[in-house]
C-alpha cells in the first residue's frame, strides 16, 4: 500500500512541473509591460525599472523561468503587490472561512445525496426516481451564483430568516452557524444533486450484480442487503467522483462567497483581479492547482484502499 | 474510400431515432428551438432598443409598458434579455466548437500515433484538468483582457480536455479494425486514415459531448460575466445584467431574477438534450432508463 501511494505521488511530479510551466506562460501572456500594468499610466521610468528589477523582468526568459520554478517548488509563492504580504499569508488569513463553507457543503451533499440516490435506485422508474432525477438535473443546471442570488432574495431579503451577509466575524457559534447556513446550503444543494446522481447510477450497477442475487437467495435482510452488500460496493465510484468534483466545488465556493459577501478565497481572487495584482493571482493559481493535484492523488489512494484490485500500472 | 465507411456513417441516423423515442429529448429540443428563434429574431421581438438609456424611467418595476421593468440606466430589461440570448448562444456555441475541433484532433492524433506523442498530449490534458475550471477561465480572461473574443478563448481552453479524452479512447480501438488496416495497406496517409476513416466513426460521441459542454460553457460565460470578465458594457449579457442588478438587489429584484431564469432555462434545455443524446448513443443506459 505504501508503495502504491509513493508511486502515485511520483507520477504527479511531471504534472506538477507542467502545471507550473503553464502558469508561467499564462502570466507572460499579459499584453504589454506587466510593470506598467501594475503601476498604472502615471508611473515614472525609475519606478518602472525598479519594479522590473524586483520582479526579475529585466533578466532573460530562461533565467526568469528557472527562478520561478525554484521559488514555487521551495514553497515561495510570491508576494502580493497590493498588501505586501506573501501569498501564503494571504491564503492562510481567509482559508478557514472557505474550509468551513466547503466542509459544510460536502456534509450536506452526502447527508442528502446518498440516501436520495439509494432511494431512487431501489425505486427505479417510479415517482421517487423521477423526482430525484428532475431535482438533480435542476440542481446541476444552476450556476452557483444564480442559486445563491435567488436564495438571498427569498430567504434573506423577503423572509428575513437569515442575515444578508453570509458571515459573522464575532458572536457565538450559533450566530456564526446562522450566518453560514444559507451559503452552505447553496453549495450543499448543488453537491447533493451531484452525489445523488452518481449514487443512483452506481447503486443501479451494483444491485444488478450476481452476489446481490446470491445474498438475497440466502435470505439476507433487506436493510443489510442494501447497506452492506450494495452501498458499500457502490461507494467506490462515488468516492472517485466526489474527489473529481473538488475543482468545481472550489469554483462554486468562489461565486458563493462573492454573492454572500463572505471572506474567503473567492473574495481574495476578486480583490486580486480588481487591483490587477498579478503576482497574487499567479500564486493563487499555483496553490489551487496544487490542491487539485493533491486531492486527485488522495482520491486514487482511497480508491486503492477500498478496492484492492486497483494497482498503479 | 466512402464504401469502406458508408455502413458505419449511418450511425447518426439510428442515434436520431433513439433520440426521438425519449420524451425528455423532445422537451429539450423544443426549448432550444425557442431560444434559438429568440436569438435570431431579437430585433423583431425586442420592444425597445436594448442600449437606449432613459433616466426618467430608472428602476421601473414590471408594468404593462415595461414587461420586465427597467434597470438603473432606464434600459428595458426584456429587450436586454432578448439581445443577451444572442451573446450567450454565440459564446457557448463558438467556444464549444473551438474546444471540440482542437480537442478531437488532439485526441485522435494521440490515440492513433501512441507512444511519445500520446504521452505528451495526455500530459497536457492532465495539466488542464488540474486547474479548477472557473479559475482557469478567470485567469485566462483576466490575462488577455475583457472582451468577447478573449472570453470565448478562455472558455474554449477550459473545455478542451474532455474532448481529447472522448476522441482518444475510440481511436485506439478503431485503428486496429480491418477497414483502417485495409486503408493503411492501400498506402493511405495517416491524415486521410484519421480524418476519413476514424473520425466519421466516433463523430456522434463527440457531438453528444458538445451538447453537454455547451451547457457548461453558457454557465461559465455567465459566471465570468458576473465576476466582471465578460463582454464589456454596454453589450447586454445575462451574466453582466445580474452583476449590475446585484447592486440594486434590495429594491429591484427583477434585475437579477429575470436574467437568472433565462440562464436556468437555457442550461436546463441543453442538459436535457445532452442527457437524452448520451442515452441514445449508449445502449446500456438506454435500456436502464426506458
Interface pTM (ipTM) of the complex?
0.81
Interface check for A25 against chain B (CB to CB < 8 A): the answer is no
Give the pLDDT of residue B101. 94
Q: How far apart are CA B54 and CA B72, in angstroms?
A: 9
Mean pLDDT value across residues A147-174: 77
Contact residues for A243 (Cβ-Cβ < 8 A; gap 6+): A295, A296, A298, A299, A302
How far is B247 from chain A, CA to nearest CA, in Å?
11
Is residue B285 classed exposed, middle or buried when 0-12, 13-18 and 19+ CB atoms within 10 A define those classes?
Answer: middle
CA distance A79 to chain B (A): 18
Integer Cα distance of B74 and B151 in angstroms? 27
pLDDT of A110 over the 70 cut: yes
CA distance A178 to chain B (A): 21
Instruction: Give the model confidence (pLDDT) of A189-200 as tens digits.
Output: 888 988 898 888
Question: C-alpha grid cell for residue B226?
Answer: 458576473
The per-residue pLDDT for A169 is: 65
B287: chain A residues, CB-CB within 8 Å: none
CA distance B204 to B11: 8
Q: Looking at the complex, does the CB of residue A132 fall below 8 Å from at least one CB of chain B?
A: no
Query: Per-block average pLDDT, block size 10, for chain B (290 residues)?
Result: 43 68 80 88 78 73 73 78 89 93 92 88 86 84 82 90 88 83 82 81 82 88 86 82 83 84 89 80 49
Higher pLDDT, A60 or B158: B158
Max Cα distance, chain B (Å): 76
Q: Would you state the cell numbers that stand for residue A107, as one nine-digit string? A: 456534509
Question: CA–CA separation, A178 vs B20, rounded Å?
Answer: 48
Cα A114 → chain centroid: 19
CB–CB contact A141 B242 (8 Å): no
Q: In B218-229, which positions are buried (b, 16+ CB within 10 angstroms) versus exposed (e)? A: bbbbbbbbbbbb
Query: For chain A, what is the largest distance between any 2 Cα atoms, rounded to a whole number of angstroms?
Result: 84
Cross-chain residue pair B223–A289, CB shorter than 8 Å:
no
Which residue of chain B is at minimal alpha-carbon distance from A275? B142
Helices (H), B114-231: 115-130, 133-144, 148-158, 160-174, 178-185, 190-192, 203-227
pLDDT value, residue A30: 66
The terminus-to-terminus CA distance of chain B in angstroms comes to 37
CA B108 to chain centre: 21
Q: What is the predicted pLDDT for the residue at B97?
A: 94
Sign of the C-alpha dihedral computed for residues A242, B139, B224 and B216 taken in this order = negative
Query: A313 pLDDT band (50/70/90 cuts)?
Result: very low
User: Is pLDDT of A274 > 50?
Assistant: yes
For residue B98, the model assigns a pLDDT of 95
Please check whether residue A99 touches B, CB under 8 A.
Answer: no
End-to-end CA distance of chain A: 14
Contact A285 B135 (CB under 8 A): yes
A111: distance to nearest CA of chain B, Å? 25
Distance from CA of A294 to the nearest CA of B (A): 9
pLDDT one-digit tens code per residue, A116-125: 988 888 888 7
Compute the residue count for chain A.
313
Judged by CB atoms closer than 8 Å, whether chains meet at B242 and A27 is answered as no
- Buried b / exposed e over B118-132, threshold 16 CB at 10 Å, is beebbebbbbbbbbb
Please compute, for residue A178, the number of CA atoms within 13 A of its CA located in the half-sphere on the CB side.
Answer: 14
Is the CB of B249 less than 8 angstroms away from the CB of A140? no
Q: What is the pLDDT of residue B156?
A: 92
The region that residue B279 occupies, defined by phi over 0 for left and psi between -120 and 50 for alpha, beta otherwise, is alpha
Predicted confidence at residue B100, as pLDDT, reads 93
Q: Is the pLDDT of residue A15 over 60?
A: yes
Roughly what angle, to the nearest 10 degrees, separates helices B77-113 and B238-246? 130
- Name the more confident of A166 and B168: B168
pLDDT value for A40: 67
Query: In this model, does residue A101 exceed pLDDT 80?
Result: yes
**A247–B139: do the CB atoms touch at under 8 Å?**
no
What local confidence, expressed as pLDDT, does residue B289 receive?
A: 40
DSSP state of B60: P
CA distance A43 to A162: 46
Q: What pTM, to 2 d.p., does this model score?
A: 0.83
- Contact between chains at A30 and B257 (C-beta distance less than 8 A): no
Tell me whether A110 touches chain B (CB under 8 Å).
Answer: no
pLDDT for A244 = 76
Cα distance between residue B45 and residue B68, in whole Å: 14
Mean per-residue pLDDT, A246-253: 83
Chain A contact set for B271 (CB, 8 A): 137, 140-141
Nearest to A193 by CA among A271, A141, A269: A141
Q: Please name the member of A15, A144, A255 whose beta carbon is closest to the beta carbon of B126.
A: A15
- With H, G, I as helix, E, B as strand and everything else as coil, classify residue A86: strand
Measured between CB atoms, which of A19, A145, A281 is closest to B127?
A19
Rounded CA separation B19/B132 (Å): 32
Chain B nearest CA to A296, separation (Å)? 9
Quickly state the pLDDT bin for A294 (edges 50, 70, 90).
confident
- Using CB atoms, pick whichever of B133, B142, B275 lies closest to residue A281: B142
Distance CA A284, CA A71 (A): 14
pLDDT at A154: 85
Give B-chain residues touching A270 at CB under 8 angstroms.
227
Amino acid at each position: 500500500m505504501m508503495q502504491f501511494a509513493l508511486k502515485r505521488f511520483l507520477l504527479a511530479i511531471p504534472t506538477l512541473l507542467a502545471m507550473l510551466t503553464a502558469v508561467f506562460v499564462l502570466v507572460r501572456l499579459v499584453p504589454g509591460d506587466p510593470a506598467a500594468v501594475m503601476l498604472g499610466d502615471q508611473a515614472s521610468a525609475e519606478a518602472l525599472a525598479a519594479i522590473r528589477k524586483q520582479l526579475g523582468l529585466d533578466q532573460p526568459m530562461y533565467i526568469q523561468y528557472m527562478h520561478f520554478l525554484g521559488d514555487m517548488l521551495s514553497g515561495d509563492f510570491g508576494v502580493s503587490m497590493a498588501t505586501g504580504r506573501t501569498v501564503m499569508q494571504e491564503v492562510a488569513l481567509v482559508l478557514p472561512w472557505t474550509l468551513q463553507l466547503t466542509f459544510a457543503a460536502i456534509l450536506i451533499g452526502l447527508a442528502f445525496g446518498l440516501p436520495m440516490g439509494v432511494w431512487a435506485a431501489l425505486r427505479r422508474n417510479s415517482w421517487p426516481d423521477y423526482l430525484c432525477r428532475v431535482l438533480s438535473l435542476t440542481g446541476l443546471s444552476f450556476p452557483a451564483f444564480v442559486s445563491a442570488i435567488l436564495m438571498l432574495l427569498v430567504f434573506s431579503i423577503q423572509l428575513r430568516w437569515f442575515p444578508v451577509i453570509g458571515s459573522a466575524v464575532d458572536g457565538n457559534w450559533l450566530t456564526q452557524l446562522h450566518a453560514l447556513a444559507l451559503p452552505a446550503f447553496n453549495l450543499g444543494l448543488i453537491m447533493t444533486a451531484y452525489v445523488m446522481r452518481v449514487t443512483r447510477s452506481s447503486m443501479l450497477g451494483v444491485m444488478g450484480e450476481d452476489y446481490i442475487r446470491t445474498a438475497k437467495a440466502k435470505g439476507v435482510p433487506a436493510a443489510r442487503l442494501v447497506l452492506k452488500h450494495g452501498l458499500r460496493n457502490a461507494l467506490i465510484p462515488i468516492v472517485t467522483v466526489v474527489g473529481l468534483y473538488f475543482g468545481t466545488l472550489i469554483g462554486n465556493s468562489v461565486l458563493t462567497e462573492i454573492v454572500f459577501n463572505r471572506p474567503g478565497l473567492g473574495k481574495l481572487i476578486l480583490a486580486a483581479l480588481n487591483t490587477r495584482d498579478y503576482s497574487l493571482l499567479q500564486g493563487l493559481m499555483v496553490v489551487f492547482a496544487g490542491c487539485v493535484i493533491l486531492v486527485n492523488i488522495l482520491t486514487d489512494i482511497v480508491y486503492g484502499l477500498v478496492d484492492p484490485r486497483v494497482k498503479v500500472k | 474510400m466512402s464504401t469502406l465507411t458508408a455502413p458505419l456513417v449511418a450511425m447518426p441516423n439510428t442515434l436520431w431515432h433513439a433520440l426521438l423515442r425519449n420524451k425528455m429529448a423532445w422537451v429539450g429540443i423544443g426549448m432550444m428551438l425557442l431560444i434559438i428563434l429568440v436569438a435570431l429574431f431579437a430585433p423583431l421581438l425586442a420592444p425597445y432598443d436594448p442600449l437606449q438609456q432613459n433616466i426618467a424611467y430608472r428602476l421601473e418595476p414590471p408594468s404593462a409598458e415595461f414587461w420586465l421593468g427597467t434597470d438603473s440606466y432606464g434600459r428595458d430589461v426584456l429587450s436586454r434579455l432578448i439581445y443577451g440570448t444572442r451573446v450567450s448562444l454565440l459564446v457557448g456555441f463558438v467556444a464549444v466548437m473551438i474546444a471540440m475541433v482542437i480537442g478531437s484532433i488532439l485526441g485522435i492524433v494521440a490515440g492513433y500515433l501512441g507512444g511519445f506523442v500520446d504521452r505528451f498530449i495526455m500530459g497536457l490534458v492532465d495539466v488542464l484538468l488540474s486547474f479548477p475550471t472557473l479559475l482557469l477561465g478567470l485567469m485566462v480572461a483576466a490575462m488577455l483582457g475583457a472582451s468577447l473574443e478573449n472570453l470565448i478563448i478562455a472558455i474554449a481552453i477550459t473545455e478542451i480536455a474532455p474532448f481529447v479524452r472522448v476522441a482518444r479512447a475510440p481511436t485506439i480501438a478503431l485503428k486496429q479494425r480491418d477497414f483502417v488496416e485495409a486503408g493503411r495497406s492501400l498506402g493511405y496517409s495517416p491524415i486521410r486514415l484519421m480524418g476519413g476513416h476514424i473520425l466519421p466513426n466516433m463523430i456522434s460521441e463527440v457531438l453528444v459531448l458538445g451538447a453537454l459542454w455547451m451547457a457548461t460553457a453558457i454557465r461559465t460565460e455567465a459566471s465570468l460575466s458576473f465576476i466582471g470578465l465578460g463582454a464589456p458594457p454596454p453589450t447586454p449579457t445575462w451574466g453582466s445584467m445580474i452583476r449590475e442588478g446585484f447592486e440594486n438587489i434590495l429594491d429591484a429584484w427583477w434585475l437579477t431574477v429575470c436574467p437568472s431564469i433565462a440562464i436556468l432555462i437555457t442550461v436546463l434545455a441543453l442538459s436535457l438534450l445532452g442527457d437524452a443524446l448520451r442515452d441514445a448513443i449508449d445502449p446500456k443506459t438506454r435500456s436502464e432508463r426506458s
